[in-house]
Structure 1
């Protein structure tokens, strides 16, 4: 049955997450704690840490009001389990920025992504937009303990640790959050308000009871309450509600006590027992709702007094809090909700199921599929739950919310994928992009069993093709794609997403087969469909494969520009997926080939964590191979080995034996270039025997210039088997020329030059080297020559003494030759030299002033006004400063200044 969504439906707003809840009217003002938080020299990070019921949210609300009265813009985000999907978390942070922008006369630029071509870290992007607001900002993150995903925690840690002083963070968590607190506390940048600090003092407890005019508590009773609750705010509020009970008063007089948790359960039972039956019934049955509105409560309970009941509960302080939402949403305090749910399950289990079932239907009618799914599963309605999940995942998968798909997959019935093959399709996409081999494996037989069926919920062949790419089997991937129907774009977003991925697979395999024209055509179609379905991560695949095709065809500058533009596209700034990791890997490799080694290493460090968690086989190899070579070049031999070891470990973890072989092959190359032939042969002998993965007609991009075949050629050459090497080179070269693989031809011609030189064939050696130079010159390939070590460097110097080349592009080749000779004579940097410890060139006096103002977070307009110059002049100085510091963004410049005094102040 199709999910019914009303015409003109607009989902419920996220106000309950990005706006603060209403303050409880019985909340105690925590004056002493607030004084600590807002003293003259205040920490920029404040953590309220304590178990449930310790008043963290109430204190946060008071801190927010104090921040706003002090002139700061304030933003609130209530976190929950769903925010462990980093893409959803980023979406909520963007919504929070919009709220802050509405408070500011200078809202941040929606399209801001730094300067054109700048690869902006996502944390810098978010912080930059906060700084654009032009005022101090106080951000409040409630229930931070709900975040357990390493990626989400890392994002928050980046934001919190890198933010400047004008951005203050207030965090509430039941546990100490893993956001870099130890270093912040040691540096006097963070204050932790513990559970002990959050407990009520005796004076604060007196205020709780005196504020309720209907209560009269003696000092003796107050002392008993203080002993029984140990100042636990939730238990104190329960006493306030329960003191109308004679048994509670008697327990105070008799001195009966117990642990605070036991006291809380006892009090909650008394609080519930004091309510009239209609209120008790309302409390119990609505307790299973994570949030409530009058309309929802009326529908679920079959009554019409939901608005009056919720208002009354809020007024009486019955642990009901109003969420900031135009729809009038409320929620119970966790402790009271848990007690009520236990009572309902014990006394009215049939009502519990009925409430869940009616709530599921109501949320489904509103298009709130996640909450509908929760209630369907809680009611035991597995068939309906599967149907809702199948429909919801039509949006989740193109949106890249794979972590959400994964989280809910654990709650679905075990046979969900066989019940509905569409679910198997959606789950397989998620597990493929999450690189989850174990979870993907049981889905593959289900997909194969449904190949003959034409499913409207998804195409098993396309899902299987992408799974084959993950499993490093492109031939099988192409086989599945070849049997899919060719269809035009449709109005079905998920179908367009599938078609985009299918075109990407065709382009990926076409690139390997040297069919570059058809490959680029397929990738262009994939890009168009990705944009149509608003699927950023499939768009990234189209872009990265197009860039790699340019590299293979000898168009390195165009490839670098294309890949740099792709990863700096504002749509990619907040992208978090396998495809972005692959895009970063490809750009690292392209920058390295262009000898932009500093940029390549900086990019690797920026995206390292994402690459570790999400990069695939070939991408991982080309990236780590480039980084290891950069570190070798800089004399950082131990770091180079560590880089290769990490790549090998990741390849083993990813179950990619071919990638392991390629990394081990890089170890052999290092030994050969260093002249340690015996050691290289020993390492080569240890490689697992395997059929060739690079043939004349099928070359993966990771093996284009350094695959097993070229590895064997290089080994033969250095081991004195030059004639054998030349035979193999000839076969490879003929295929590379036929397919237009310029990149591969450059490598083969350089090896041929070395082979001829080894055999004493001087003229053929220089002819091959000249051909390599002419092929490389238009694309300015540098590392292709320098990677072959001293032997080729010597041949290059000898080549420079020959008469100038006659061909049309001889001048370009000559210029490249001069650059190569200069680069090959450059000594590696000392291993212990920090690459950005200070300015690469001295700053002028004016640049010192501009940098000092940048460090103070002044805008370009403010700097221009203070220095009486134009904004364009400020931009000119800023560009020069960035260049001299070796940075690309304002925040990077500030970090350099914090570690090295380059401002001269």
Structure 2
């Protein structure tokens, strides 16, 4: 029944307000590929879509989503089943593809689905309700593929509290996207007047209704709750005066007012059943120990008391989310014993009726940990490697003492923490689990100890490495090798995952490159000759990257090529991309940019991950970085639009490289203040995390941007800091990959004594000369290297040459005249000129025009 509920168009209440203009608005979607209905809870998204679907002449496939549907196979299984309810033979050819799905077959599935959709001969609408529960990359990718080739008679309607993760900008540009938002959904005065007229006992004036609409901002649930409360109050005028338009205040105040007006028996029913996400009379009777629960459910529906029928037969129901949260909070805080009992009763009913996962959550809420562990152990094969978030939610709810004597729970707990990126917690759990498992070692057989101990030590090694405790990490690795010389299935956790931390980049985790060299060599010697040991790929990639940084290109290339030839690393997107990007930058450094780009294009076709879109963005960011190194005048606008980054976004560890490219592109397109602000926040993050390599690279970027802006004093302060951090470790490529601008800066440093402080902490000159020798070409040419203009500055300079005024230039490049004036000032400063004529002349002399 829970499955069928998802595919039924929710029942429309008989007293629903007819909103013809909004229904007409929804009809526009039949001329578009995609219609997005977005608003926060309580704006009637599901209600209006249900009403529209009921009266539409199109064939409707409805899917109500929740947090458990964020997985590719279940999601599309529901959609196909929805089609089959109308056209039984629709998915005959699709089920074998879906049920045997792998990340390689996403294009096969979507292409096959498009083929079946193309054969349909009338308008069909797929409605995905509550899509905010879905953020799975494969689901988003498949919908994106569908939208790109959707037949004219097929339309997708999505309701959500937030914009979906897949890109819709292109559809909007092609007029294939229709959007309905809060402004469209909110009750206007006419809607509200009609609504209150249906409640004849509320004799409100137009002015009073207008006040309620204004203060509620048209929030439909707020108006409904207001009406319910006013039916019980004797002073409506006072109520209206005190009515607040803040949604949180409305929910906290009005829900309590509605609740207090119910009978004692009904309040008891509401409180106890609030723990249920979905309910029928049988489940309600088990939870409340009351009879006639079907009558109570239907009574609540007739009262329109924030209960939603999930089927036309009035069997399954759910409460409105805000109402449910209020009731649960009240039950837990005021009647805690009843809260525990309600959850326990729910758990027993759900387990008996085949809903084991839901039962675990209720057992945990009821603090019935023994029962929860019993079910978790039963479900481990289903959650292992596929539902780390679910497993993490369960295991973090268990008190430590309940895990004692459960070594497999201990092991899976650590795996779940790693799976969701909680590395410091995973390290602590590893230390605790080590003590517990060692205590029972004598009671385990040798194979049992090897399995448990080996897995434990592997987790210990990688978590200690993430925390920069390299001595402890190597100790754990040696213990792991002694117990499991052939490795285990856990060693590639996160190998196809985009998120988490940079635990696989040794050069970020070990600040001393010489220590990193020793650490890497230890693992290469231990694992390098093993044939089926993909974890070695992380260390070989880091070894190649380290040699590249030291400008030992031939050695670095040999290792990277040998690593990419290993068959055992091929299934792991994260590792393949890391190694390929190292090889690509080696190729470019050796003068083969075409080969570098070819490598990156090839790796795009090999990615096998549910997070393919994020990985592709990383590859394309690196491609752009290489292109800009070769041709600073190249356009970066396309990637900038696609990235969907914002310079105010919070900084985290794994997308750090993408944000570094983003900052460079911002500067490249003339948004230098935004670029510098982002880079400074990145530096602060790297400083907090103790990541010297990131600090060096960020300071280099800041210095180049400031230098090109003519802010030489600030630029050299940052460059000297980067040199100070880099010199002891022998960094080379991080500097010379920045091209002639940085070379000119380095040359100025050795030829302008006052740029280096007299009491400098290191002797910069030998190191700077070493870096300059690493550049190709002779130093006098570097001395005459000219400053580079940004893409926007080059465009404006060409228009200055054509004799255009500031206003005319502004119209051409779609910016304000003031912004044009600011760019021209920067151009003058870089070219060391004072007017337009001098600027054009200087630009021609330097081959900038």
TM-score category, normalised to shorter length: 0.5 to 0.7
Correspondence for 1:363 among 341, 350, 363: 350
Correspondence for 2:94 among 109, 112, 131: 109
Q: CA deviation at 1:376?
A: 3.5
Q: Cα distance 1:652–1:459, how it changes in 2: closer, same or farther (>3 A)?
A: farther
Q: CA deviation at 1:379?
A: 3.3
Count of aligned positions: 622
Using the alignment, how far apart are the partners of 2:722 and 2:42 within structure 1? 62
Q: Are 1:440 and 2:426 matched, yes or no?
A: yes
Q: Cα distance 1:45–1:521, how it changes in 2: closer, same or farther (>3 A)?
A: closer
SS of corresponding position for 1:69 = coil
Using the alignment, how far apart are the partners of 1:357 and 1:350 within structure 2? 11
SS of corresponding position for 1:438 = helix
Q: What's 1:519 paired with?
A: 530
Q: What's 2:268 paired with?
A: 281
Q: Cα distance 1:367–1:183, how it changes in 2: closer, same or farther (>3 A)?
A: same
Using the alignment, how far apart are the partners of 2:722 and 2:334 within structure 1? 71
Q: What's 1:131 paired with?
A: 114
Q: Cα distance 1:476–1:125, how it changes in 2: closer, same or farther (>3 A)?
A: farther
Q: What's 2:454 paired with?
A: 461
Using the alignment, how far apart are the partners of 1:660 and 1:242 within structure 2? 58
Q: Cα distance 1:319–1:125, how it changes in 2: closer, same or farther (>3 A)?
A: farther
- The unaligned stretches of length 5 or more in structure 2 are 497-503, 505-519, 543-555, 640-655, 663-678, 702-720, 734-773, 778-789, 792-849
Q: Are 1:33 and 2:22 matched, yes or no?
A: yes
Q: What's 2:390 paired with?
A: 404
Residues 202-351 of structure 1: matches in 2 within 5 Å?
203-205=190-192, 208=195, 216-217=200-201, 220=204, 224=208, 227-228=211-212, 230=216, 231-238=218-225, 247-248=232-233, 250-252=234-236, 256-259=240-243, 268=255, 271-272=258-259, 275-323=262-310, 328-345=315-332, 348-351=335-338
Residues 711-750 of structure 1, C-alpha deviation per residue, up to 9 Å, x if partnerless? xxxxxxxxxxxxxxxxxxxxxxxxxxxxxxxxxxxxxxxx
Q: Cα distance 1:385–1:559, how it changes in 2: closer, same or farther (>3 A)?
A: same
Residues 46-95 of structure 1, C-alpha deviation per residue, up to 9 Å, x if partnerless? 343444322111112234445x6224x53424243x56xxxx43344332
Q: Cα distance 1:223–1:411, how it changes in 2: closer, same or farther (>3 A)?
A: farther
Q: CA deviation at 1:39?
A: 3.2
Using the alignment, how far apart are the partners of 1:559 and 1:343 within structure 2? 59
Q: Cα distance 1:416–1:117, how it changes in 2: closer, same or farther (>3 A)?
A: closer
Residues 6-57 of structure 1, C-alpha deviation per residue, up to 9 Å, x if partnerless? xxxxxx8544556554434443333210101213885544343444322111
Using the alignment, how far apart are the partners of 2:355 and 2:395 within structure 1? 18
Correspondence for 1:69 among 39, 48, 57: 57
Q: Cα distance 1:334–1:635, how it changes in 2: closer, same or farther (>3 A)?
A: closer
Using the alignment, how far apart are the partners of 2:251 and 2:564 within structure 1? 65
Q: CA deviation at 1:255?
A: 7.3
Residues 727-774 of structure 1, C-alpha deviation per residue, up to 9 Å, x if partnerless? xxxxxxxxxxxxxxxxxxxxxxxxxxxxxxxxxxxxxxxxxxxxxxxx
Q: Cα distance 1:661–1:315, how it changes in 2: closer, same or farther (>3 A)?
A: closer
Counterpart contact for 2:7–2:82, Cα < 8 Å: no
Q: What's 1:711 paired with?
A: none
Residues 191-237 of structure 1, C-alpha deviation per residue, up to 9 Å, x if partnerless? 443434323345545655777xxx63576467645643555432444
SS of corresponding position for 1:38 = helix
Q: What's 2:412 paired with?
A: 426
Q: Cα distance 1:376–1:106, how it changes in 2: closer, same or farther (>3 A)?
A: closer
Q: CA deviation at 1:482?
A: 3.4
Q: What's 2:37 paired with?
A: 48
Q: CA deviation at 1:106?
A: 4.4
Q: What's 2:573 paired with?
A: 580
Q: CA deviation at 1:445?
A: 0.9
Q: What's 1:374 paired with?
A: 361
Counterpart contact for 1:74–1:100, Cα < 8 Å: yes
Q: CA deviation at 1:283?
A: 2.0
Counterpart contact for 1:64–1:74, Cα < 8 Å: no
Using the alignment, how far apart are the partners of 1:661 and 1:15 within structure 2? 54
Q: Cα distance 1:377–1:15, how it changes in 2: closer, same or farther (>3 A)?
A: same
Q: Are 1:170 and 2:181 matched, yes or no?
A: no
Q: CA deviation at 1:335?
A: 3.2
Q: Cα distance 1:394–1:467, how it changes in 2: closer, same or farther (>3 A)?
A: farther
Using the alignment, how far apart are the partners of 2:139 and 2:388 within structure 1? 17
Q: TM-score, normalised by structure 2?
A: 0.55
SS of corresponding position for 2:42 = coil
Using the alignment, how far apart are the partners of 2:423 and 2:657 within structure 1? 26
Counterpart contact for 1:359–1:372, Cα < 8 Å: yes
Q: Are 1:480 and 2:479 matched, yes or no?
A: yes
Q: Are 1:99 and 2:99 matched, yes or no?
A: no
Q: Cα distance 1:358–1:643, how it changes in 2: closer, same or farther (>3 A)?
A: closer
Using the alignment, how far apart are the partners of 1:688 and 1:33 within structure 2? 66
Q: CA deviation at 1:465?
A: 1.1
User: Which has the larger displacement, 408-417 or 300-309?
Assistant: 408-417
Using the alignment, how far apart are the partners of 1:268 and 1:644 within structure 2? 44
Residues 710-859 of structure 1: matches in 2 within 5 Å?
none
Using the alignment, how far apart are the partners of 1:40 and 1:683 within structure 2? 55
Using the alignment, how far apart are the partners of 2:73 and 2:694 within structure 1? 37
Counterpart contact for 1:18–1:76, Cα < 8 Å: yes
Counterpart contact for 1:588–1:604, Cα < 8 Å: no
Q: What's 1:722 paired with?
A: none
Using the alignment, how far apart are the partners of 1:383 and 1:196 within structure 2? 50
Q: What's 1:602 paired with?
A: 601
Output the aligned Cα RMSD: 6.5
Using the alignment, how far apart are the partners of 1:216 and 1:587 within structure 2? 72
Q: Are 1:59 and 2:58 matched, yes or no?
A: no
Counterpart contact for 1:353–1:379, Cα < 8 Å: yes
SS of corresponding position for 1:172 = strand
Q: CA deviation at 1:332?
A: 0.7
SS of corresponding position for 1:404 = helix
Using the alignment, how far apart are the partners of 2:575 and 2:402 within structure 1? 32
Using the alignment, how far apart are the partners of 1:370 and 1:26 within structure 2? 37
Using the alignment, how far apart are the partners of 2:139 and 2:103 within structure 1? 25
Using the alignment, how far apart are the partners of 2:690 and 2:614 within structure 1? 15
Counterpart contact for 1:153–1:179, Cα < 8 Å: no
Residues 547-696 of structure 1: matches in 2 within 5 Å?
579-586=572-579, 597-602=596-601
Q: Cα distance 1:194–1:443, how it changes in 2: closer, same or farther (>3 A)?
A: same
Q: Cα distance 1:203–1:161, how it changes in 2: closer, same or farther (>3 A)?
A: same
Using the alignment, how far apart are the partners of 1:658 and 1:219 within structure 2? 71
Residues 816-865 of structure 1, C-alpha deviation per residue, up to 9 Å, x if partnerless? xxxxxxxxxxxxxxx99xxxxxxxxxxxxxxxxxxxxxxxxxxxxxxxxx
Counterpart contact for 2:7–2:61, Cα < 8 Å: no
Q: Cα distance 1:653–1:630, how it changes in 2: closer, same or farther (>3 A)?
A: farther
Q: What's 1:89 paired with?
A: 71
Using the alignment, how far apart are the partners of 1:601 and 1:326 within structure 2? 56
Using the alignment, how far apart are the partners of 1:327 and 1:636 within structure 2? 65
Of structures 1 and 2, the one scoring higher in RCO (CA 8 A, sep 6+) is: 1
Counterpart contact for 1:625–1:663, Cα < 8 Å: no
Counterpart contact for 2:454–2:484, Cα < 8 Å: no
Residues 403-424 of structure 1, C-alpha deviation per residue, up to 9 Å, x if partnerless? 3344555555477766855444
Counterpart contact for 1:465–1:476, Cα < 8 Å: no
Q: Cα distance 1:644–1:203, how it changes in 2: closer, same or farther (>3 A)?
A: closer
Using the alignment, how far apart are the partners of 2:624 and 2:524 within structure 1? 23
